[in-house]
Chains A and B, each alone.
Chain A
Amino acid sequence: MSKRKPYQREMNNDWWLKNIFYSKYMIREGSSIFITLYSLILAWGVFRLSQGEEAFNAWLSALQHPVSIVFHLLVLLIALYHTITWFSLAPKAVDLYIKGKPLDGKLIVAGHYITFTVVTIFCLIVIML
């Protein structure tokens, strides 16, 4: 008679706290929650704009509340973390060959940063003007 009795270990809910690599991954993925909240606030602003100048100004002054400023700084930090970690992974999803040799990962990452900077500056100019 077989004495086989394979033992299946449980995967606990805190699996992502036991390895720093998993923790960093969860922060990267968890950033989506904060970015969603930021987008909702922004969408609310657009909705307030449709209600007229007074409503929009009320929304603008609400943004100047210290809680709002702290929240937006936090979202900025988290969004930057997401951007940096995501860009560093970009070479894995790119399949470019130049003269039969795969394109250097550093170039792909640099390309992302250059695009990111150009678009950011362009947006700033558009907003400022």
Chain B
Amino acid sequence: MKLPARRTSYGVKGAPYTFLIPATLLFLLFFALPIGYAVWLSFRKVRVSGLGLGAGAREEVWAGLENYTGALSDSELLNGALRVLGYGCIVVPVMLGLALLFALMLDSEKVRLAPFTRLAIFLPYAVPGVVAALLWGFLYLPDVSPFYFVLDRLGLPQPDLLDGGPLYLALSNIAVWGGTGFNMIVIYTALRAIPAEVYEAAKLDGATPLQTALRIKIPMVAPSLVLTFFFSIIATLQVFSEPTTLKPLTNSVATTWSPLMKVYQDAFGKGDIHAAAAQATLIALATLVLSFGFLRAANRRNKQEAAR
């Protein structure tokens, strides 16, 4: 007789809570408290008296929703949001599509050189961001880039990669290059967890490798696809390092190109942590709505499929 799955019984009720103590404690200390403080800061502002020099010139006062209304009516922030949405539409599908493709390829039976390619695709993750501006400067700037050199020799047109439309491609490329390996590994590990019996059954039914991939593997790694999608959305809405990397190389990337760059600028450049906190809270809320909305939709679909 098969026991019902996952039933807590005979005195193990306290166990999950005990297991979760470390995580909860760390969360309270390093996430909840700072987030709370940041939100609290977003309702305050600094008032300056007189010339503002010397002791006692500045004091923190209550600001109510001033920082929020300021953020919502700030055209820089809104433009940044639009830019980032466009950027996300390129990055997320391409990066996850590639990650899925590579993971499936790695998982196929007839693959060769898997350890090498696995390492190679993961390697971009290992290049520190500090080096990135230099690196992409060498690869993107017309005067030094080998690609322009080749295009020049072949007599082909040389688009300015750091301007207008191509700029989005240039930025997306950096993100895709850096992030595909990460997501590939996540999906790949999930693929390895699929029990062998499933494949046996498929083979007995005469499924080709392609059909196995599409009908069996992809649905079975759906949770990890959801995971990577969720975190990709967050990473995209909070994009910061790619535009900051390209900024010194070109006139086309403003200091506030993405919303998070504006937050950084206000917090660290202007020293106005209050406005930055309000903007960050708004960004967090937007991300929350988008990603949890997506998660809810995905879960509903899963339940529907399971019920079938």
A and B are partners in one complex rather than unrelated chains: no
